[in-house]
Structure 1
Amino acid sequence: MSMPKIRSLRNQLVLALCVLVSVVGVVQGISSWQLAKAGMSALLDLRLEQVATRLYHSGLADALPTTPARGSQPERDVYLTVWKDGISTPYRSTDPSLPLPREAEPGFTNAMVNGENWRIYTLREPSMVVQVAQRSRVRQDLAEARSLNTLWPMIVLVPLVWIAVLLVVRRALRRLTRLGRQVQAIDMAHFEQLSTSGVPTEIRPFILSINTMIERLEQSIESERKFIADAAHELRTPLTALQLQADNLAPHIAPGNQERFRELQSGIRRSGRMIAQLLRLARADAPMKADTLTRVDVSEVVVDAVAEVLPIAMQRGIDIGADEMTSAFVRANDADIGIALRNLVSNAIRYTPDGGKVDLSIQVRDGKVWIEVVDNGPGIDEALLPRVFDRFFRANVQIEGSGLGLSIVQAIVNRYGGEASLRNRTDGQSGIVASIGFPSVP
C-alpha cells in the first residue's frame, strides 16, 4: 500500500494564490484589451464623422482636386468622395479608382470595395452626399497596436504579485516552521511544550492539542520508565538471593544432575543480566540533570571499555585495539558514555568469531565526536538493520543476549542530542561498523 504524498501547505497556498492572481490578471488583461480596441474603433469612427461634417459645412468639398492622381493617397489615410445630385460620377474624390457605394445608408456601414473591407461614413444632405472611408485592415492594426499597450502593466504586475504572494505566505508561515522544528526536537529525553505566543488564532487550538498530547505522552513514558525501574529493582534482590542459594547448593548436587544444575545457574545469570540492562535502560530514559554533566575525555572512556572486555577477548583470541585515537571531549555523564561504548564493544566481541578482530577509533567531524567499533563478524541482514535499535530485538537469536544493549545505546545518544548508526562493512570484508556521535566541546 503506497503512502499518500505529503504536500507542503506553503506551496499549496502560494500555488493557489498565484493561480488566482494569474486568472484575474488574464481576465483583466483581456477585458482591458477588448475595451481598448472598442474605444479605438469608436475614436476612428468619430474621426470619419468629423471629417465628413467639416467637409460639408465648411465648404471644403469644392477644394478637393477634380482629377487627383490614382493611387497617390497613402493607404493608411482616409478616403473622401463627394456626390452631387444630377451627376452620376463622383463630384470630388481623393481617389477616383475607389468606387464607394453611393447608395449606402446614412451613417456607418461596412462594405467590400475592390476586394477589401472598408468602414464607410455616409452623410446625406439635400444637394450633396459626402462619404469618408477607411480600410478595415488599417483600423484593426491601429486598434490592436494601441490596445497592446494596455497589457504591459498587467504583464509586469502579475510576476511582481507572485513574488509578493511568496514573501507574504513565507512570512505568515514562518511561525509554523519554527513550531515544526520544536516538534521534531521532541523525543523521550526532551519534552517541551510549544509556545502559543505569536501564534495565529486559527492555529492556537491545534497547538494546545499538541501540548496536551505531549503532556500525556510524557506522563505515559514516565510511568513506563518508573515501572521498569521498580520492577527491575524488586526482581534484582530475589534473583541475587537465588544465585547465592544456587552457589551454595553446587557442592551437594548429584553428578547425574550437574548438567541440569549448570543450566539453572546459566538461566539465573541471564535473568540477572536482563534485569541489569532494564535498570540501565530506565536510567538512560530518565531526565538528565545538568549538574551531573562533566567534561569527559572520550579516549579515557575507550581505554576503560577495552580494558574491561580484554580478558574475554584474550580468552577467545580476538585482537582488540584502537586504530585512530583523536583527542576529543564531550560534555556528558562519563558513566553514560561508558555504558554506551561498553554495549557496542560487548556486541562486537559477542558476534566476532574466535581469532577475529575488533577495532575502535575516535574521530571529530561535523561538530561531533564519533566513536566507531568495527568487527569482522558475520554482519546483519540489510532488511533487519532498521530494527536493530528496537527494544528486545535480536538479529541473531542463536547468540545469547537480552536485545536491550543497542536500545540503551540509542537512549543515551538521544539524551545528549547525538546520533547512533549500525551498518555493514563496505570494504570487502564481513562485519559491522557501529558508530555513536556526541556533540563536541573544546
Structure 2
Amino acid sequence: MSMPKIRSLRNQLVLALCVLVSVVGVVQGISSWQLAKAGMSALLDLRLEQAASRLYKSGLAESLPAIPSRGSQPERDIYVTVWRDDIATPYRSTDPALALPRDADPGFTTAMVGGESWRIYTLREPSMVIQVAQRSRVRHELAQARSLDTLWPMIVLVPLVWIAVLLVVRRALRRLTRLGAQVKAIDMTHFEQLSTSGVPTEIRPFITSINTMIGRLEQSIESERKFISDAAHELRTPLTALQLQADNLQPHIAPGNQERFRELQSGIRRSGRLIAQLLRLARADAALKADTLTRVDVSAVVVDAVAEVLPIALQRGIDIGADEMMGAHVYANEADIGVALRNLVSNAIRYTPDGGKVDLSVHVRDGMAWIEVVDSGPGIDEAQLPRVFDRFFRANTQIEGSGLGLSIVQAIANRYGGAVTLRNRTDGQSGIVASIGFAAVP
C-alpha cells in the first residue's frame, strides 16, 4: 500500500494561487484582445462612414480626380468611388481599377473585389452614391497590432503577481515556521507552551490543542521522572543495608561458599550502581534551575575526570591523557558537566582493551565548546550506532554496564541545548570518538 505524498502547504498555496492568477490573466488577456479588436474594427468603420459623409456634405466628392492614375494609391489607404445616377461608370474614383459593387446595400458590407476581401461603406443620396472601401487584410493587421498592445500589461503583471503571491504566502506562513521551530525544540527538559499571539484565527484551535498535548506530556514525563527518582531513593537504602550486612557476614561464610558469596556481593554492587545511574538520569531529566548555573572551566572538568579514572587506567595499562586542551568555558552546572564527561571517559576505559589508549581534547568550533574522547576499543557496529543513546541499550552485553551512561550524557546535553555524538574512528584505527558540546561563553 503506497503512502500519500505529503506536500508543503506553502507550495500548495503558492501553486494554487499562481494557477488561479494565470487563468484569470489569460482569460482577461483574451477578453481584452477581443475587445480591442472589436473596438479597432468599429473605429475603422467609423472612419469609413465619416469619410463618406464629409465627402458628400462638404462637396469634396467633386474634387476627386475624374481619371486618376492606376495603382497610385497606397494599399493601406481607403479607396473612394462616386457614382452618379445618370452615368453608368464611376463619376469619381481614387483608383478606377477597383470595381466596387454599385448595387451594394446602404451601410456596411463585406465583399470580394479583385480577388480580395473589402470592407465597404455605401452612402446613398438622391443625386449620387458614395462608396468608401478598405482592404479587410489591412483592417485585420491594424486591429491585430493595436490589440496585441493590450496584452503587454498582462504579460508583465502576471509574473509580478506570482512574486507577490510567493512573498505574501511566505509572510503569512512565517509565524507557522516559527511555531514549528518551537515545537521542534520541545524535549524532556523543555516544555514551553506555544504563543497564540499573531497566529491566524483559523490556526488557534490547533495551537491550543498542541499546548494541551504539551501540558499532558509534561505531566506524564514528570510523573515518570518522579517515579524513577522515588524508586531509586527507596531502593538505595535497603541495598546499602544489604551491602553492609553482606560485608559483616563474609567472615562467617564457609570457605567452600566464598566464591558464591562474592558473586552475591558483586550482584549487590551492580544493583547499587544501577540505582545510582537511575538517580543521575532523573536529575539530568529534571528542569534546569538558573540559580545553579555558573561559568565552568571545561579544561578543569576534563582534568578532574581523568584523575578520577587514572587509577583504573594505570592498573590496566591504558594510556590516558589530553592531546589538545584549548581554553573554553560554558555556562552550566559544573556537576552536570562532570557527570556527562565521567560517563564518556568510563565508557572509553571500559571498552578499551588492556594496554590501549584513551585521548581527550577540548576545542571551540562554531561557538560551541567540544570535548572529545577517543578510545582504541573495538568500535561499534554501524547498524547499532543509532541506538546507543537508548536507555538500557548495551552494544556489548559481555562487558558489565547498566546501559544508562550514554542516555544520561544525552539528557545532560539536551538540558543545556548542547549536542552529543558517537561515531567510529575514521583514521584507520578501531575505536570510538565520543563528542559532547555546549554553547561556549567568553
Return the offset for 1:410: 0.5
The corresponding residue for 1:163 is 163
Return the offset for 1:439: 1.0
Q: Once structures 1 and 2 are overlaid, which stretch shifts more, 190-199 or 294-303?
A: 190-199
Quick one: which amino acid aligns to residue 177 of structure 1? T
Alpha-carbon distance in structure 2 between the residues aligned to 1:373 and 1:105: 104
The corresponding residue for 1:237 is 237
Counterparts in 2 of 1:213-292, with a 5 A limit?
213-292=213-292
The corresponding residue for 1:357 is 357
Q: Once structures 1 and 2 are overlaid, which stretch shifts more, 311-320 or 113-122?
A: 113-122
Counterparts in 2 of 1:363-442, with a 5 A limit?
363-442=363-442
Which string of whole-angstrom CA distances, capped at 9 and with x for unpartnered residues, describes residues 225-246 of structure 1? Answer: 0000011111111222222233
Alpha-carbon distance in structure 2 between the residues aligned to 1:296 and 1:278: 25
Alpha-carbon distance in structure 2 between the residues aligned to 1:6 and 1:158: 28
Return the offset for 1:260: 3.0
Say which SS state the counterpart of residue 170 (structure 2) adopts: helix
The corresponding residue for 1:322 is 322
CA 169–152 in structure 1, closer or farther in 2 if over 3 Å, else same: same
Return the offset for 1:86: 5.2
Return the offset for 1:167: 3.4
Say which SS state the counterpart of residue 439 (structure 1) adopts: strand
Alpha-carbon distance in structure 1 between the residues aligned to 2:336 and 2:416: 10
Say which SS state the counterpart of residue 77 (structure 2) adopts: coil
Alpha-carbon distance in structure 2 between the residues aligned to 1:352 and 1:110: 102
Alpha-carbon distance in structure 2 between the residues aligned to 1:264 and 1:369: 43
Name stretches of at least 5 consecutive residues in structure 1 with no aligned partner: none
The corresponding residue for 1:124 is 124
Alpha-carbon distance in structure 2 between the residues aligned to 1:102 and 1:320: 117
The number of equivalent residue pairs is 442
- 1:110 and 2:110 aligned: yes
Alpha-carbon distance in structure 1 between the residues aligned to 2:217 and 2:124: 94
Return the offset for 1:250: 3.0
Quick one: which amino acid aligns to residue 261 of structure 2? F
Say which SS state the counterpart of residue 216 (structure 2) adopts: helix
Alpha-carbon distance in structure 2 between the residues aligned to 1:398 and 1:66: 122
Q: Once structures 1 and 2 are overlaid, which stretch shifts more, 367-376 or 118-127?
A: 118-127
Return the offset for 1:201: 2.1
Counterparts in 2 of 1:2-401, with a 5 A limit?
5-85=5-85, 87-401=87-401
CA 305–200 in structure 1, closer or farther in 2 if over 3 Å, else same: same
Q: Once structures 1 and 2 are overlaid, which stretch shifts more, 423-432 or 413-422?
A: 423-432
Alpha-carbon distance in structure 2 between the residues aligned to 1:326 and 1:6: 46
Quick one: which amino acid aligns to residue 429 of structure 2? Q
Return the offset for 1:127: 4.7
Which string of whole-angstrom CA distances, capped at 9 and with x for unpartnered residues, describes residues 137-161 of structure 1? Answer: 1111111222122223323333333
Quick one: which amino acid aligns to residue 23 of structure 1? V
Return the offset for 1:96: 1.7
Identity of aligned pairs, percent?
A: 87
Alpha-carbon distance in structure 2 between the residues aligned to 1:284 and 1:2: 41
Alpha-carbon distance in structure 2 between the residues aligned to 1:410 and 1:101: 99
Which string of whole-angstrom CA distances, capped at 9 and with x for unpartnered residues, describes residues 271-323 of structure 1? Answer: 11111110000010111111111111111111111111112112222111111
Quick one: which amino acid aligns to residue 359 of structure 1? D
So what's the TM-score if we normalise by structure 2?
A: 0.94
CA 3–426 in structure 1, closer or farther in 2 if over 3 Å, else same: farther
Quick one: which amino acid aligns to residue 109 of structure 1? T
Alpha-carbon distance in structure 2 between the residues aligned to 1:88 and 1:356: 125
Quick one: which amino acid aligns to residue 305 of structure 1? A
Name stretches of at least 5 consecutive residues in structure 2 with no aligned partner: none
Which string of whole-angstrom CA distances, capped at 9 and with x for unpartnered residues, describes residues 94-125 of structure 1? Answer: 11222223333332222223332221222334
Q: Once structures 1 and 2 are overlaid, which stretch shifts more, 16-25 or 232-241?
A: 16-25
Return the offset for 1:331: 1.2
Say which SS state the counterpart of residue 172 (structure 2) adopts: helix
Alpha-carbon distance in structure 1 between the residues aligned to 2:169 and 2:426: 46
Alpha-carbon distance in structure 2 between the residues aligned to 1:48 and 1:373: 96
Say which SS state the counterpart of residue 284 (structure 1) adopts: helix
Which string of whole-angstrom CA distances, capped at 9 and with x for unpartnered residues, describes residues 188-246 of structure 1? Answer: 11222122233332222222212111111111111000000011111111222222233
Alpha-carbon distance in structure 2 between the residues aligned to 1:396 and 1:258: 29
Quick one: which amino acid aligns to residue 72 of structure 1? S
Which string of whole-angstrom CA distances, capped at 9 and with x for unpartnered residues, describes residues 307-360 of structure 1? Answer: 111121122221111110011111111111010001111111111122111110
So what's the TM-score if we normalise by structure 1?
A: 0.94
Say which SS state the counterpart of residue 103 (structure 1) adopts: coil
Quick one: which amino acid aligns to residue 94 of structure 1? T
Say which SS state the counterpart of residue 192 (structure 2) adopts: coil
Q: Once structures 1 and 2 are overlaid, which stretch shifts more, 192-201 or 30-39?
A: 192-201
Which string of whole-angstrom CA distances, capped at 9 and with x for unpartnered residues, describes residues 20-77 of structure 1? Answer: 2222222112111111110010010111122222323433322211221111101110
Alpha-carbon distance in structure 1 between the residues aligned to 2:2 and 2:98: 75
Alpha-carbon distance in structure 1 between the residues aligned to 2:3 and 2:246: 55
